[in-house]
Amino acid sequence: MPRILRIALPIAACAALIAGCGSDVPPNGVAKIGDTVITKDQFNHWLNAAAHGSAAPGSSVVVPDPPNFTKCVANQAKQPVPKGAKKPTPKQLKTQCQQQYNALKQQVMQFLVSAEWIQQEADKEGVKVSDKEVQKQFADQKKQSFQKPDDYQKFLKNSGMTEADLLFRVKLDVVSNAVRTKVIKGKDKVSAAQISSYYNKNKQRFAQPERRDLLVVLTKDKAKAEAAKKALASGQSFASVAKKYSIDEASKAQGGKLPGVAKGQQEKAFDDAIFNAKKGALTGPIKTQFGYYDFKVTGVTPASQQSLAQTKETIKNLLKSQNQQKALNDFVTKFRKDYNNKTKCSKTYVIPDCANAPKTKTSTSASGGAPQGAQQVPQGQPAPQQAPQQTPQQAPQGSTSTSGG
């Protein structure tokens, strides 16, 4: 799928301090957020795009038509039935159409509500983006997604979307990034004392244990281990002895080499023997659950500890990221609560983002789901056809209008 269709869509990304849900949703609307009405025309426009996006390539597209789903049922009845399967009844087809409609309705409502939330937050915070900026990002994505102009025109024809729709989605993305930038502004300040404190509490994270390079021969029984050791003591090479006696294919293929062994990596008996052995001394047989080892330590890399000076930049970037993450998470929590409180939906269009939605025991459904990462700001469900969308790492997206074309 072209990248321009895969940029995750926003659903909620900022916070507002507006109480109440306003008056009831008017007859021509599906939802009202503050004083702004999301109209049925807008809903139907994006429902059409969503239906195109969910259709199998090359198949006919019919937008589910409630309440009877006459067109949808007729279209479903034409679809081929797998060999050996029973042809579904009209009642079953209607149920399928109802399920499809409900899924698309949820998707589209989340998109439209989230877009309005973002728009209002952007206006509240004075976040503005230029048409030039939006056009540039759109052109870049279009170039990456479509090799030829004909490919783009074919996509528009098959997607149920217009270029204005795509520009709308790209604008959401641009505004979202601008809001996110504003949220984390000033959160990159980290003091020397904070860096020092983190280093002292987490020194082990910046340490490397002693490591030893070995030559080994692993045999099934003690007798063969004794024979292998005798051969090694007589001057035969580890490579030749390992080739003859060893059952460890990995080290055998390397002439008996087992490099960079750190304490605790091997079975205890073998581990103790390795780190008690003198460099260059032939040691064994050592009994383990895998067999008997003969070995020699050929190299020792001493344990090391990075200094505060060596780790300063790493720690600074880590603390900076944590500060920004906290700012975003705090922002998301307040944003969802505030915008949910002022969003009212028509009875048949209610989604979890609406203040009048049925109360549930879980608290992660608002705004299309909980943040999907520490640095993520809430986002919405994929918009119809998954047109340019907002990723969780980016701040809330918005646009100048929820019409979106």
Read off the pLDDT of each residue in 299-316 and give the average, rounded to a whole number.
96
- In this prediction, what percent of the chain has a pLDDT beyond 90? 74
What is the CATH T-level fold of the domain 210-302, as seen in this structure?
Chitinase A; domain 3 (3.10.50)
* CA 315 centroid distance within chain: 24
Q: Which two tokens stand for residue 333?
A: 């929590």
How confident is the model at residue 19, as a pLDDT? 32
User: Which one has a higher pLDDT value, 244 or 12?
Assistant: 244
Q: Where are the domains of the chain?
A: 3-188+314-386, 210-302
**What would the mean pLDDT of 213-218 be, rounded to a whole number?**
97
Distance CA 85, CA 365 (A): 37
Closest CA to 33 of 400, 383, 405, 354: 354
Per cent of the chain over pLDDT 70 is: 83
List the one residue out of 94, 102, 97 whose CA is nearest residue 62: 97
End-to-end CA distance of the chain: 22
Q: Count CB neighbours of 89 within 10 A.
A: 10
State mean pLDDT over 216-226: 96
Measuring CA to CA, which residue among 151, 140, 143 is closest to residue 173?
140
d(CA 16, CA 175): 16
**Rounded-to-integer distance, Cα 226 and Cα 247, Å:** 15
CB 9, CB 165: distance < 8 Å: no
> Confidence band (pLDDT; 50, 70, 90) for 361?
low
